[in-house]
Amino acid sequence: MSALRLINKTLATDGVSEVDITDVFSEDFDIYKITFTDLQTNSGADFNMRWLNTSGNPITSSEYDRCKYYMNSNVSAGDVRTTNRDHIQRPADAFGYSSAQDTGFGVMYVYNPFSSSSFTYFSAQGGTLAAVLSSSRDIGVLTETTSLGGFRFYVSTTFKKLTVNTYGLSVV
């Protein structure tokens, strides 16, 4: 049995290029669920992510590894692997091709983010509601044993709209 507890709901302000969600990870939970809805940017943009330490500073070391399987309506399905990056590029491909006409959505599960003795892992899936339908499944790891307090979403232009909900998942 499990239970979700809403920890934080954040709405991005029109015109900002980054959104920090801080102080959401704690010793209370080992697993977190993050939902993304209504993602729109003011022009085509890459949607990226970085973890934040407990002081609210972004982790910028080259310790991000990820594998993605994508499925788009206009190209063949495929996979992408990245290692030793300084961020998570397009966490759930839906967000990577966002434009003013697209709306992205997705869900991410984060494992052990507050633990300072283990890596932080994530799994994600998402899609877009656009002329080119796209979706993906991602898995990844921060290969650094740092206690995390939150995360940052950022785009190369500015957000038009974004809603982020963060939940703690209790496993009984």
The structure tokens 């995360």 sit at 151
What pLDDT shows up at residue 96?
46
pLDDT at 133: 63
pLDDT tens-digit map of 86-117:
888 766 654 444 455 567 788 999 999 999 99
In angstroms, the CA 32 to CA 49 distance is 16
Assign 1 a pLDDT band (cuts: 50, 70, 90). low
Please tell us whether the domain made up of 2-171 is placed in CATH 2.60.120: yes
77 alpha-carbon distance from chain centroid = 21
Instruction: Assess whether pLDDT exceeds 60 at residue 150.
Output: yes
pLDDT tens digits for 43-92?
767 788 999 999 999 999 999 999 888 777 667 778 888 899 888 876 66
What pLDDT is recorded for position 2? 67
What is the per-residue burial (b if ≥16 Cβ within 10 Å, else e) of 56-89? eebbeeebbbbebebebeeeeeeeeeeeeeebbb
Tens of pLDDT, residues 6-39: 999 999 988 899 999 999 999 999 999 999 888 8
* pLDDT (0 to 100) of residue 157: 85
